[in-house]
Amino acid sequence: MAHLTIPEFQQHKQQGKKLTVVTAYDALFTRIVEQAGLEVILVGDSLGMVVQGKTNTLSVTMEDMLYHTRLVAQTAQRSLVISDMPFLSYQVSVQEAVRNAGQFLQAGAAAVKLEGGLSVVDRVEAMTRFGIPVMGHVGMTPQSVNQSGGYRVQGKGQKEAEKILQEAKELEAAGAFALVLECVPSSLAHTITQALSIPTIGIGAGQGCDGQVLVLYDLLGLFDDFVPKFVKPYAHLKADALQALTRYKEEVECGKFPSDAESYN
Ligand code: KIV
């Protein structure tokens, strides 16, 4: 089965068809995501928080991201797999950024995503020049959490909104094939979406984007350490897991499990 290509992904915008993106970090959930009919998977560095249990994404390494990219990419049958470039893998130089981005393609991803505006325009330009598709990410950029002082909505004031719009335009001009808009006012996301010919994928950016992305464990209700306003839990798997484990413990302790049905004669 053929994978969704970047031109096909981009055509959604022209056709007015919304794009649904979700994160995944392993083979099991990649299979479930594809069974549900989703076709775009982001191997997000959010795995630092939801898989590794850290309070931010800054300690996620290239090795971590490549490992999870391989798990997802080896399993995906038709999805477009995009991998997040972790902190420090693209900041130091254009050369390092291109080399690291290329490693994601070697690991099976079809594209990379990196955070930032004007400071990464030369990276995006170099990567696309060498055939590495790049998704930009502006607005709230979690790898800059220490500078922004927390996970806050960005672009509320006019000056800041204009800056984000400008960054979006420059990333498109540099060759980005799509752009994540995170935690920006809906009106700004709408303006950016109208101004660009590449698709915008929103997270906490309202309805005006060309598509949406959510962290898988947030939408499944598995991760509740920190639930931002933009998250809608479509399931409550943590509650289900807690109930299942509690019952299992009770049944082992009272001798109800295993019963004959789970035993061999
Ligand atoms: O790391 C991630 O999962 C992301 C999405 C939330 C956009 O960057």
**Structural domain spans, the chain:** 6-234, 237-265
pLDDT band at 150; cut points 50, 70, 90:
confident
Give yes or no for residue 1 having a pLDDT over 90: no
Within 8 A by CB and 6+ apart from 141, the residues are: 115, 116, 148, 182
Q: Which percentage of the chain shows pLDDT scores above 90?
A: 97
Average pLDDT over residues 21-38: 98
| Residues 162-213 pLDDT 10s | 999 999 999 999 999 999 999 999 999 999 999 999 999 999 999 999 999 9
Q: Residue 14 above 90 pLDDT? A: yes
Taking a C-beta distance cutoff of 8 angstroms, is the pair 154, 164 a contact? yes
For the cut 90, the answer to whether the pLDDT of residue 246 exceeds it is: yes
Q: What confidence category does residue 225 fall into, taking pLDDT thresholds of 50, 70 and 90?
A: confident
Q: What is the pLDDT of residue 31?
A: 98
Confidence bin at 47 (pLDDT 50/70/90):
very high
Dist CA 226 CA 248 (whole Å)? 27
Could you say which of 162, 182, 251, 262 is catalytic? Answer: 182
CB atoms within 10 A of CB 28: 11
| Protein residue with least CA distance to atom 2, ligand 1 | 44
**Predicted model pTM:** 0.97
Residue 99 tokens, joined: 């080399």
What does pLDDT average to over the chain? 97
For residue 240, the CA-to-ligand 1 centroid distance in Å is: 25
23, 25, 81, 200: residue to mutate for ligand 1 pocket, most atoms within 8 A of CB: 23
The CATH number assigned to the domain with range 6-234 reads 3.20.20.60
Q: Per-residue pLDDT for 55 more than 90?
A: yes
Gap between the terminal Cα atoms of the chain: 44
The verdict on whether 182 is a catalytic residue reads yes
pLDDT category of residue 149 using cuts at 50, 70 and 90:
confident
To 5 degrees, how large is the angle CA 209–CA 212–CA 214?
Answer: 145
* pLDDT, tens digit, 9 for 90 and up, residues 62-121: 999 999 999 999 999 999 999 999 999 999 999 999 999 999 999 999 999 999 999 999
Q: Using the mean position of ligand 1's atoms as its centre, give its distance from the Cα of residue 246 in Å.
A: 32
> Which amino acid, residue 80?
L
pLDDT of 226 above 90: no
Q: Are 107 and 70 in contact (CB under 8 A)?
A: yes
CB distance 46 to ligand 1 below 6 Å? yes
